[in-house]
Amino acid sequence: GADIKGSLGEPLKAAYHPACHLLRGLKIKEEPLNLLRGIDNLELVRIHKEETCCGFGGVFSAVYPEVSSKMAEEKAKTVKDAGADVVVSADAGCLRRMERSGIKAMHVAELLWMGIRK
């Protein structure tokens, strides 16, 4: 595996949302977390039901917009309740949904880049 070592300038609390296609399709769960754990000043906080879908799901959000919005609101609440400064994921659709719910959102690659360029 990759050995990433880096540091953020300021401490940051991040909640990780596993991307549905990574988790369910490719069975990748710990690898992104292991990379993120190599960044100093980054505290990963657990969220309730972290593997629950954010409500985006490809065309799901277009076909069932009300249900999708409710799912996104529930996911955003778990991030807020965990005291996270940001939600981090490899799922761009979920990140956009979180931003619409008022949650700061970052892609895993973006956070890794911030950590290693310091």
Nearest partner of 75 among 112, 93, 43, judged by Cα: 93
6-116 CATH fold:
Rossmann fold (3.40.50)
84: tokens are 């996270």
50: tokens are 């972290």
Place of tokens 């879908």: 53
Q: For residue range 58-77, what is the model confidence (pLDDT) as tens digits?
A: 787 788 888 888 988 999 99
Write down the pTM of the prediction.
0.83
Q: For residue range 26-43, what is the model confidence (pLDDT) as tens digits?
A: 888 889 999 999 898 999
Domain boundaries, the chain: 6-116
